[in-house]
Structure 1
Amino acid sequence: MADTSSSLSLPFIQPSQAQKHVTHNEALRILDVVTQLAVLSDDLAAPPATPTEGDRYIVDDVATGAWATHEGDVALYENGAWQFFTPNAGWRAFVMGREALIVHDGAEWIDLDDAEVQDIEAFGLGMTSLPSTPFAAKLNAALWTGLYLGDGGNGSMITTLNKEATPDDTGFVFQQDFGTRALFGLFGSDDLRLSTSADGVSFNDGFIVDAASGVVDQPNLPRFKGISNFDNYVAADTWTKIAINQTEFNDQSSFDTATNSFIAPVAGTYFFGAALTFKQNTSDQARMGAQLVVNGTDVITGALGEITGAHVSEQTTLNIQGMVLLAAGDTVELQGRLRDFDGYFLADQTSFWGFKVG
C-alpha cells in the first residue's frame, strides 16, 4: 500500500505502525491547511517579517529567502517555521487581501475572472450543447434585469448582438420544435428585417427598415392598383361592375383581373379608393355615380359618390374612397352608374386601388 494519498498526499497509517497518532495528526493538519483554502495574499515573493501562527500565503514568482524555489506553493507558518504544500490542478483558494477567487490549472494560479478561465468552449443548461450552438439552455422562463442604482448599477439593461461584416447575420431566430418560423434582426445586410416562414426554408419579409434612411418597407403588404385600358360602356340608370383588367402593381396577387375584384388574402382592415372619368355617348348630360361594393352586395360606408352638376366629357372625374373590415376571401369591386343617359368611363383614366392598413 502507498504511504500517502494520491490527491492531497495525506499520510496513511501503516500496518503495525508505532505512534499512529502522529501520522493521523499530520493528515488532519494537511486537511486543515488545504480544505476551504484561504490565503492572505498571492503577490509576495518573500515571507513577511513578522508572520502570525497559522498564516497562509501563495508564493509569488521569483521567490526569495525562506520561500526560495517554492513559487506557486501554499506556504503555512506554523510552530515558528514555514511549511509548503504543492497544489494540484483544480485547487481553489480565496485571496483575502484582494477578495479574489483563484484556481490552479496544473501549471499556475489563475483568477476565475480571467479571460483564460472564461473561455469555455461549450455550456449547456438543462441540455447538451451542440458544436453549432455552444451555449444552450432548456428552461421555461428566463429573466435579464438591469442592475439597480441601489445595488451599484445604473438601472439599465442593454444586450448587444454583434456581427463582423455587412453580409453576416445577427439577430433572433424563432423556432417551433427546432424548425425556424421567424427571423428578426440584421440578416444578410444592415437593414432591420422581420421575416416569417411556414417551413423553415422559404421566408417572407413582413417589414424591412432601411439602415441608411430609416424608411420602412412592407414588401408583402396586400396592395394593388388597377386600371381599365378600354372605355367601359354603362347603360343608363344601371350599376355596372367596372372592368379593371390591368394592374400597375399587385402584391400578394390580391387583385383578380379575371373577375375584376380585389380578394382579401387575410382578414383585416383595408383602405380602397377609385377614380372614374366620364366619356359621353349620345349626351353629355348623364350624371356620374360610383361605389365600392363588398361581396357584390354591400356598399362600403362612405364609398358612394355622385356628381350631379354639369360636367365636360373626358375632363370630369369622380373620386371615392372608404375603409372596411374584411374577412379572408371577401371581395371588393368598383361599380359605376350613369343617370338618365348612357355613356362610358374613360380608358386609362379609370382606376381602382387599395391596401391593408391593419
Structure 2
Amino acid sequence: MSETSRWALPLLEVGQAQKEMTHNEALARLDLLTQANVVAVAQNVPPADAAPGQCWVVGAAPTGAWSGQAGALAGWTAGGWRFAAPREGMQVWSMADGCIATHADGAWRTGRIAGAELVIGGVRVVGAQRPAIAAPTGGTVVDGEVRAVLDQVLTAMRAHGLIAN
C-alpha cells in the first residue's frame, strides 16, 4: 500500500530514499483538504495570479492547467497546482458566495443546508414540513382584519416551506 485509501496521501515506504518528498506531498494535500475554503465554486479557467494556499472548485468545463479536473478541488502551491477529487458529503467554504458548498450526488451545491430540524439554544424552532392548512372561509361572523392577518401568516409559513401549499 503506497497511499491512503481515502485521500490518496502518499505513504512512506520502508527503506525509501528522499522520504521528505513523500512526506511534504502528503502535507501539501492535507493543507488543501483540511478545513477547506475556496475562492470560488465552478470556475473553469485557472487564475493567472493565484497565491500559494488559494483553492477553487473546478467547474464542469475546465481549461488550461485544470483540463480533466472537472469538479475537483484545485489548490495552488509553491510546487504548482494540486488537485483532490471530492468525496460524497465533502464541504468547503466559498468566499465568493459567503456560504458552504457541499459535494452531493456527484455535483457541488452552494448554499444548501440539509437537515431534519433546526435547533437554536437547545430549542427546536423548525422541523419537518407539516400538511397544508386551508385558508379561512365562511363562519357566522366575518372579521376581515383577523382573516387578512391569518392569510398573511399562512402565506409566510407556506413561503418558508413550513407548511405545504
What TM-score does the superposition give when structure 2 sets the normalisation length? 0.69
RMSD: 3.0
Whether contact under 8 Å (1:88, 1:106) holds in the other structure is no
Which residue in the other structure is 2:42 paired with?
A: 43
Pair 112,30 (structure 1): closer, same or farther in 2 beyond 3 Å: same
Deviation string, structure 1 residues 7-66 (Cα, Å, up to 9, x no partner): 111111112222222222221111111000001011321111222222211111211111
Structure 2: state its 5+ residue gaps. 142-165
Query: 1:86-116 CA deviation, whole Å, 9 max, x = no partner?
Result: 1111211001111110111251111242xxx
What is the aligned length? 137
1:213 aligns with 2:139: yes
Could you tell me how far apart the structure 1 residues matched to 2:124 and 2:7 are?
41
Report the identity percentage: 29
Q: Which residue of 2 aligns with 1:86?
A: 85
Question: Do residues 32 (structure 1) and 31 (structure 2) align?
Answer: yes
Q: Considering only CA atoms, is the larger Rg found in Structure 1 or Structure 2?
A: 1
Q: CA 1:46–1:8 in structure 2 vs 1: closer, same or farther (change >3 Å)?
A: same
Higher share of residues assigned strand: 1
- Asked if the contact 2:29/2:82 (under 8 Å) is kept, the reply is no
Secondary structure (helix, strand or coil) at the match of 1:22 reads helix
Please state how far the C-alpha of 1:79 moved relative to its aligned partner: 2.4
Q: Following TM superposition, by how much is the alpha carbon of 1:161 offset from its aligned partner in structure 2, in angstroms?
A: 6.1
Q: 2:140 & 2:6 partners in 1: Cα distance? A: 63
Secondary structure of the residue that 1:63 maps to in structure 2? coil
Residues 124 and 42 from structure 1, CA distance in 2 versus in 1: closer, same or farther, beyond 3 angstroms? Answer: closer
Q: Which amino acid aligns with 2:40?
A: S
Large movers: runs of 4+ above 3 Å: 141-144
- Paired with 2:66 and 2:30, the residues of 1 have a C-alpha distance of 21
Q: Which amino acid aligns with 1:62?
A: A
Which structure has the higher relative contact order (CA within 8 Å, separation 6+)? 2
Measured in 1, the distance between the counterparts of 2:19 and 2:108 equals: 35
Shift of 1:143: 7.0
TM-score normalised to structure 1 length: 0.34
The CA distance in 2 between the partners of 1:42 and 1:13, in whole Å, is 33
Q: Give the match for residue 70 of structure 2.
A: 71
Unaligned runs of 5+ in 1: 126-136, 145-159, 164-169, 171-185, 192-210, 216-358
The aligned amino acid for 1:12 is L
